[in-house]
Amino acid sequence: MLEDLRLRGLAPHTAYLYLRAVSDFARHFGQSPDQLGPKHIRTYQLHLLNKPVSYSTLTIVVSALRFFYRVTLGKGWTIERIPSPKRERRLPVVLSLTEVAQFFAAVENLKHRMVLMTMYAAGLRVSEAVHLKISDIDSARMVIRIEQGKGRKDRYVMLSPSLLTLLRTYWKAVRPHHWLFPGRESDSYLSIRSVQWICRDAWLRSGLTKKVNVHMLRHSFATHLLEAGTDLRTIQLLLGHRSLNSTARYTHIATSAIGSTPSPFDLLALQTVRPE
């Protein structure tokens, strides 16, 4: 299965999740997965629903089992009959501009503050931010090159002039050689887990009631762009979304249109004649 995943170019992390999902499935029944079939898959899915587990976990399990039985084992029974979970439609929580400033003010370490600021300023995923190299900052064209982001796609995002000024100050103080945000060893980059802990610590220090995580910075970036009048297609390109539908959900979060729309209750108040 690992060879099949590699041949089809799946990202290493995705391959790991698929392998772990099939392994957990086999361990649940105490049998090799090639001895299991549709009935076992149905029983296992019901088991996961009773735990319960997240939508993303269920989706990974379904995708992994479909891949294993269709590609690796070449089973003839209809893989598509393995049901997929219905996705919950939840709107992401975002920070206001004031809250973003309050959050950054709580980060004392320069490198830690810069990696979080870069994620917000360019709308980056945490994995994209930690993999940035110094050479990815193109100050001549005022863009940042994202190499092999999600889906193994390269893209460019804007380089904020304000961010560039801060990055230059950061570079003079830290003097990174290859990776923009090096880890403890100069030849390694800051880990995703480290940035997640940095973000959690900053949230606790900030006093914000909204629980801030690394992806919230990306959500806030997209929402603030939309509220400033940026069109959805441009935001889609900046975020690296494959489908415009993924970007369109930010229209449900942006308050520029929602907040400026009068409620019919206000119109009713204008028509109400108060008795003297």
The beta strands (E) that lie in the chain are given as: 137-138, 143-149, 153-158
Domain range for 133 is: 97-258
What's 152's domain CATH number?
A: 1.10.443.10
Tell me whether residue 177 is one of the annotated catalytic residues.
Answer: no
Helix 214-227 vs helix 232-239: angle between axes, to the nearest 10 degrees? 160
What pTM was computed for the model? 0.69
- Give the number of other CB atoms < 10 A from CB of residue 241: 17
- Active-site residue flag, 113: no
Q: Please report which residue ranges of 83-160 form alpha helices under DSSP H.
A: 97-105, 110-122, 126-130
Do 139 and 58 belong to one domain? no
Note the pLDDT tens digit of each residue in 155-213. Answer: 888 899 999 999 999 999 999 989 999 988 778 899 999 999 999 999 999 999 999 99
Q: Residue 269: inside a domain, yes or no?
A: no
Banded model confidence at residue 263, pLDDT cuts 50, 70, 90: low
Q: State how far the Cα of 181 lies from the Cα of 144, in Å rounded to an integer.
A: 14
The catalytic position among 150, 200, 210, 249 is: 150
156 is catalytic: no
Residues 6 or more apart in contact with residue 63 via CB below 8 angstroms = 18
Please give the biggest Cα pair distance in the chain: 83
Q: Are residues 64 and 101 in the same domain?
A: no
**Cβ pair 21, 67 in contact under 8 A:** no
Q: Sign of dihedral through CA atoms 235, 260, 98, 162? A: positive
Whether residue 241 lies in the annotated active site: yes
- Model confidence over 42-89: pLDDT tens digits? 899 889 888 877 878 888 998 999 999 989 998 876 666 666 666 666
Query: Do 176 and 128 sit in the same domain of this protein?
Result: yes
Residue 270 lies in a domain: no
